[in-house]
Structure 1
Amino acid sequence: MSFKHTVVPFGTHRGARLCLKSAPQPSVVRAREPVRPTAGKVVGFLPSVKNKRQVAWESQLEKKACLLFEFSPVVASYREQPITISFPSGGCIRKYTPDFELQLNTGQRIYVEVKPASKLADDELKAKFRDIDAFWRQHGCYFIVITDAELNQPVRQSNLSFLRPYLSHQCSDDVIGQARLWLSSHQTVTLDELTNFIGSLSGAYALLAQGHITFDLDRPIDLDSLLTIQPEGSTNETCLFAYRTSPDFERCAFHDQPNIRGR
């Protein structure tokens, strides 16, 4: 599965290398325990193939974000509640624990806050986020905010949720190569036709989930879904999520509309 959606590059920060050390993967020591019984609060775990462990989430928004991290090729790994920092803000020292840390294929680290968009109307909160951003910039890292405005994509989330179990399905190099070669010789191919070619519906789903075959992520997947391929490595720097950055925390622009999923 592959996508044409490309993110505008982050600005160049001083200090390209990360100074803070993180716990090695997959053994993770969280800065605080995120999942605990709380009245009226929905919490749970997402089985992550990318991280080879269960990833804890504290809200439905965080669960949706995890799914996008799981399928985004540019994200090599991610972890929740990674570290607690002390940063200067408003004339005093404050503490902050980000919701997630993303380790990118480029070697960069991004710290993520997941928040309802309505909260960003609070000028005091935005000022705090700007101070947090300044802290991470001093350490050669990045800080982004992802809101419900970016995460509430029912069709995309439904498709990814459906395909998630197939991330761990074994696809042989022969099947991958033959399927891609066969698709390259046809103008249009449906999921049903791919299934008949390789002789396995679960195998076809796995090819989509693992990015070997592309499809329109924002249309409900079915046997009539049209498939295609993209050159190997052409989408390795692609992410599936929109995001917001300092100073205004408005949504960042994208080169293309996000419509195709893959890696």
Structure 2
Amino acid sequence: MSTTQTTAFIAQHLTIEWAKPGQRARKIVRRSNLRVTGKFPSFRNNTSVHWESFNERDCVIRLDANPRIVSFKEQPATLTYFLNGKTYKHFPDLFVVGNGRAAFIEVKSHTDPDLCEAIERGDAIRPVLLMQGFDYFVVTDLEIRQEPQFSDAKILLRLGRNPVSDIRKEQLRRFFLRKPPQWRDIVSGTFGENAVFDVCRLLLEGYFSYDRRYALSATSVISTTPSASTSEENSSWL
């Protein structure tokens, strides 16, 4: 995410026009679109999230799998700002709430010829947004598809779709308190034939954790406490 100042100009008079409930500031999915578009069934939002590029889709996957994220919305608002004598309108791709913060996110390919312009725009409007209580980041496909986090996100979302009852949560918590199991114990059925689905869901919810700096593997330890990488992960939205 860009935090480097690349411009001497700071936006003025920035206003936020939020999309109406259930609507988007700019329509995404249309049959006439020339670009690829689609919908992602977000368990975290309990609704489908629209995307208009594979980079946006994969960003949504990362956000949906992040237990620190409370919610996110696509095409959330129109930002109107005055910069260098001109008025501009900007439609950020996403608005994310989580970890005690709220931020607008713009998704770009690292090869996009408009990337530098997007970063400069972000540097110009971010200070003004911060004064209103919001942050702003430009995220590229390289960060979105960083491994092993991206592959693990897809695994957890594929297996953790179904909710887990409070009774089952407490049962697993007591099992894991005695001795934190490794992932192979979960997959082998030691804690029941549906344990792998239950644990994946609880990892998505943040009820359990593992060290996300490393790929989810046979020796990954599933813990009832935050993983060793939590403090490092808190600096990122993905």
Interval containing the TM-score (normalised by the shorter chain)? 0.7 to 0.9
Aligned to 2:8: none
- Output the TM-score relative to the length of structure 1: 0.69
Contact 1:146 1:242 in 2 (8 A): no
Unaligned runs of 5+ residues in structure 1 are: 1-18, 244-257, 259-263
Deviation at 1:160, TM superposition (A): 1.7
Contact 2:210 2:226 in 1 (8 A): no
Q: Distance in 1 between matches of 2:174 and 2:68?
A: 25
Superposition CA RMSD, Å: 3.4
Instruction: Find out whether 1:59 has 2:53 as its counterpart.
Output: yes
**1:28 is matched with which residue: 22, 29, 32?**
22
Equivalent position amino acid for 1:212 in 2: Y
Q: Distance in 1 between matches of 2:229 and 2:164?
A: 20
Equivalent position amino acid for 2:145 in 1: N
Q: Distance in 2 between matches of 1:145 and 1:182?
A: 42
Q: Distance in 1 between matches of 2:139 and 2:43?
A: 22
Say which is worse superposed, 186-195 or 111-120, in terms of deviation.
Answer: 186-195
Corresponding residue SS for 2:80: strand
Corresponding residue SS for 1:66: helix
Aligned to 2:87: 93
Aligned to 2:41: 47
Q: Distance in 2 between matches of 1:122 and 1:191?
A: 42
Deviation at 1:211, TM superposition (A): 3.0
Equivalent position amino acid for 1:114 in 2: V
Greater RCO structure (CA 8 Å; 6+ sep): 1
Q: Distance in 2 between matches of 1:173 and 1:135?
A: 43
Q: Distance in 1 between matches of 2:117 and 2:201?
A: 46
Contact 2:16 2:78 in 1 (8 A): no
**Structure 1 pair 238/154, CA: closer, same or farther in 2 (3 Å)?**
closer
Matches within 5 A, 1:211-226: 211-217=206-212, 221=216, 224-226=218-220
Instruction: Find out whether 1:181 has 2:174 as its counterpart.
Output: yes
**Structure 1 pair 172/192, CA: closer, same or farther in 2 (3 Å)?**
same
Deviation at 1:44, TM superposition (A): 0.9
Aligned to 1:192: 185
Deviation at 1:55, TM superposition (A): 0.2
Aligned to 2:10: none
Alignment: residue pair count: 221
- Output the TM-score relative to the length of structure 2: 0.75
